Structure 1
C-alpha cells in the first residue's frame, strides 16, 4: 500500500461519513500537512496564535512525517486506514505503535481543526437534531458540557475527550490517552468505541502557553470556538 492509498481510502473510511473532506484534503501523495481552515490568530482570545502555530506547524507536522515513515516501513498491502486504525493487529508488530501514535495523531488533529471556528462565526450551541439528541441523552446542553469537561479534566496526562455516536446511534462522552481515538478496537475499551463527532485535545501543547496548568480554564474557553455546524454534520452522518 502506498501512502496515498492509506489516507485516501482511510480519508473516507476513517472519518466514516463523518468529516471526509478534511481527511481527504490531507491525503495527497506523499502525505502532507494540510492548512488550517482559518488564520492562526482567528481563535483568539480563546486560543492564541502562537499556540495554534506551534500545535499545527510543529506537532501535527511531526505526526505526518513520522506516519509517512511508518507506512513505508509497514508495507501492509491492501488494508485501508479504517482497518488499520480499528485493528492494529493487521500491521506488522514492529509497526503497530508508530501507526497507532502517528496515524491517530494525524487523524485526530485533522478533525480537531475542523471542529473549531472563529467565535461569532458559528452558532453558540447545538441545535436541530444534534441539539435534541444532546438534550435527550444528557438532560441539557449544560449537563453535557459538564460531563465532557469532567472527562477532559480528569484525563491523566495527555489525551482527548470525545463526543461519540455509538453503534446503536446513541451519544456518549468518552476519553482516550495519548493519540488514541474511539475507532481503535482492542485499544480502547469496547464500551468506549464509537464514531467521534467532537473531540478536545488536552495535551499540554494545546493550551499551556496561554493557560499554563489551568486545564479547566482552557476547556471552558474552548466552547466559544466549537464549530457546531460541523459537529451536526458528523452526527447526521454517523446516526443515519
Structure 2
C-alpha cells in the first residue's frame, strides 16, 4: 500500500498547521523529511544505575537511528509530496499509511518523546500541584497511579509502550499500545495526548534486568522527569 496523492494533499494541509503547544516546548512532531536522530539531553551514563550506559548507547544510536533511517527510506518510495508531511501528520493518520511508514514514524516519535521524559536519578522532582491533583482524582493517589502504570506495562503482551495520557475529554488515563504505535495515532483506543511513556521492548532494559520487566518498571520511576511531565500536562490542558 502506498499513500495516494489525494491523501497526501489532505495531510499536507494538516501537517502545515501551526505547532501545538507541546511541539512549541520542544516535543517531537513538527519536523519533516529528512528526519534526523535527536541528540540526547544527557550523557549515555546519566541514567545509571537505573538504565546503564551500554543500553542507552545501543538503544539510541542503533535502535532509534534505525527507525529514523527506515522512515526516511520508506518515504523515498512514496510520491515526493509525502516527504513534506510532518511527523505529527503521519501519526494522526497512521491508519492510511504503509506499514513501513507507520511503524518507523511511531518508533521515531516514541523514542524522541521517551528520551525527554527522563533525567538523572534524583533530579526529576515530583508532579506539580495541578498534575498531582489530577492524578489523585483519576487514580486515588500517586502510588495508585504508579501501580496502575506498572500493571498495564506488565499486562501488555509482547513489545509495546505504556502511557499516561490526557484523553480528549480532559481526563487522565493509563493505556498501552502495541509495537511502535502511540496514543497520537488514529488507530489508538483511547486516543489522547501523551504525558509520559515507557518503552516495553526488551532492548530497553534487557542488559540490566533480563526478562524482569516488572523490576525495570519499578526502578524506572527514579529517572522520570516530573518537571517536564508537569509542563506537558499544563500545555495539554491549557493551564
Number of positions where the alignment pairs a residue of Structure 1 with one of Structure 2: 225
What residue number does 1:81 align with?
Answer: 87
Aligned equivalents of 1:169, 1:175: Cα separation in 2: 18
- Which sections of structure 2, spanning at least 5 residues, go unmatched? 6-11
Q: What's the CA shift for 1:83?
A: 2.9
What residue number does 1:171 align with?
Answer: 172
Aligned equivalents of 1:30, 1:11: Cα separation in 2: 19
From 9, 31, 36, the equivalent of 1:32 is: 36
What residue number does 1:61 align with?
Answer: 65
Q: Does 1:213 align with 2:211?
A: yes
Partner-residue secondary structure (3-state), 1:41 = coil
Partner-residue secondary structure (3-state), 2:77 = helix
Aligned equivalents of 2:110, 2:17: Cα separation in 1: 12
Partner-residue secondary structure (3-state), 2:216 = helix
TM norm structure 1: 0.86
What residue number does 2:229 align with?
Answer: 231
Q: Cα RMSD between the aligned structures?
A: 2.4
Kindly indicate whether the alpha-carbon contact (under 8 Å) linking 1:148 and 1:161 is maintained by their aligned counterparts in 2. Answer: yes
Aligned equivalents of 2:220, 2:159: Cα separation in 1: 17
Q: Does 1:116 align with 2:114?
A: no
What residue number does 1:107 align with?
Answer: 109
Q: What's the CA shift for 1:105?
A: 0.2
Aligned CA distance change for structure 1 residues 12 and 61 (closer, same or farther; 3 Å): farther
Kindly indicate whether the alpha-carbon contact (under 8 Å) linking 1:18 and 1:235 is maintained by their aligned counterparts in 2. Answer: no
Aligned equivalents of 1:236, 1:229: Cα separation in 2: 11
What residue number does 1:44 align with?
Answer: 48
TM norm structure 2: 0.86
Aligned equivalents of 2:172, 2:179: Cα separation in 1: 22
Aligned equivalents of 1:149, 1:12: Cα separation in 2: 35
Aligned equivalents of 1:82, 1:19: Cα separation in 2: 10
Aligned equivalents of 1:50, 1:174: Cα separation in 2: 29
Aligned equivalents of 1:146, 1:137: Cα separation in 2: 13
What residue number does 2:28 align with?
Answer: 23
- Which sections of structure 1, spanning at least 5 residues, go unmatched? none
Aligned equivalents of 1:215, 1:11: Cα separation in 2: 39
What residue number does 2:8 align with?
Answer: none
Kindly indicate whether the alpha-carbon contact (under 8 Å) linking 2:32 and 2:86 is maintained by their aligned counterparts in 1. Answer: no
